[in-house]
Amino acid sequence: MSTATQVIGIASGKGGVGKTTVAVNLAVALQMSGKRVMLFDADLGLANAQIALGVRCPYNLSHFLSGEKTLSEIIVTTRQGVQLVPGASGMYEMAGLSELQAASIVQAFSSLENEVDFLIVDMAAGISPYVLAFMSACAKRFVVVRDDPSSIADAYGTIKVMIQDFGLDNIYLIANGMNSQGEGRQLFERINQVCARFLDHTIQYLGTIEQDEMILGALKKYQAVLEYAPGSSAARDFRLLAKETEGLAVDDSLSGGMQFFVERLVQTRS
Ligand SMILES: Nc1ncnc2c1ncn2[C@@H]1O[C@H](COP(=O)(O)OP(=O)(O)O)[C@@H](O)[C@H]1O
Ligand SMILES: [Mg+2]
């Protein structure tokens, strides 16, 4: 992979807030707008990116980790054109990966010859050291939050650790499951005020995905909502999110590219 690949990590703190939904639909929306996208399902607890994209993967990360297959051999191109690195369904927890396994994953990514514009990493929930190491290595961090107290608390906790303990920037908030765009922005303002006051840092707003039953309908048909209901509010929101993502400043220095990803991970590990 080239240094021009933008690596984006999607985190949340709490599970069930829409991380995979965002990762999958953002990947499809970017691909539909002509970008080359790879999606890494790094949530090893539940490999649901495959389900959401409606693709059967003969092999997954567990076959790579056991040495049976190379990373290239497990990658599947979905009908939407996204290159998917399938997670190891229910076999491992991200936190349970050994240092050696972690290093081998990263090493393999860096030597992939696939040309991609965006590598989107659907992280496991929580803030295990491994999740944080991965988030550090990404160029941009998208934090998904819902407007409920535990999701807000967990998102803030994740942001706090990323800023205070890891010195990370380029943190963007995505409000999910909102009643309106305006309420999503308000939720961002609330969280950002707390960040400014208690962390002395601000974060950035990326966008809002409204609550939309079409998302569940799409999942039941093993489709992205952009395929299942292109005219829905959710599809509109994801197209907008893709546009915002494309518009983010591209770091064409080493920072943000795949090489950077590898180097940062190696650094955090030692
Ligand atoms: N904006 C939304 N509107 C309606 N349902 C949603 C929305 N976002 C996510 N969901 C649903 O919420 C559930 C959890 O989402 P998921 O993406 O799997 O969360 P996570 O990956 O954070 O655990 C899924 O059933 C998904 O379809
Ligand atoms: Mg998930």
Q: Per the domain annotation, does 95 fall within a domain?
A: yes
- CATH code for the domain in which residue 241 is found: 3.40.50.300
Q: Is the CB of 126 under 6 A from ligand 1?
A: no
pLDDT at 91: 56
Pocket residue to mutate for ligand 1, from 120, 121, 211, 215, most atoms within 8 A of Cβ: 215
Q: Is the CB of 245 under 6 A from ligand 1?
A: no
Q: Is the CB of 12 under 6 A from ligand 1?
A: yes
Q: Per the domain annotation, does 187 fall within a domain?
A: yes
Residue nearest to atom 9 of ligand 1 (CA): 18
Q: Per the domain annotation, does 116 fall within a domain?
A: yes
pLDDT digits (tens, 9 = 90+) for 106-163: 778 878 888 899 999 998 877 777 778 778 878 899 999 999 999 999 999 999 999 9
Q: Per the domain annotation, does 219 fall within a domain?
A: yes
pLDDT digits (tens, 9 = 90+) for 173-218: 999 999 999 999 999 999 999 999 999 999 999 999 999 999 999 9
pLDDT at 43: 80
Question: Sorting pLDDT into bands at 50, 70 and 90, what band is 72?
Answer: very high
Q: Per the domain annotation, does 1 fall within a domain?
A: no
pLDDT digits (tens, 9 = 90+) for 9-51: 999 988 889 999 999 999 999 999 999 999 999 887 665 899 8
* Residue 199 DSSP code: I
Q: Per the domain annotation, does 91 fall within a domain?
A: yes
Distance (Å, whole) CA 242 – CA 224: 14
pLDDT at 270: 45
Q: How many domains does the chain have?
A: 1
Segments in 54-98 forming alpha helices (H): 61-65, 71-74
pLDDT digits (tens, 9 = 90+) for 208-263: 999 999 999 999 999 999 999 999 999 999 999 999 999 997 765 544 455 556 66
Closest ligand to residue 43's CA? 2
Q: Per the domain annotation, does 211 fall within a domain?
A: yes
Give me the chain's average pLDDT, please: 87
pTM of the model: 0.92
CB-CB contact of 41 with 78 (8 Å): no
Which bin fits 255, alpha (ψ -120 to 50), beta or left (φ > 0)?
beta
pLDDT at 254: 46
Residue nearest to atom 3 of ligand 1 (CA): 211
Q: Is the CB of 155 under 6 A from ligand 1?
A: no
Domain with 38, as residue range(s), is 6-269
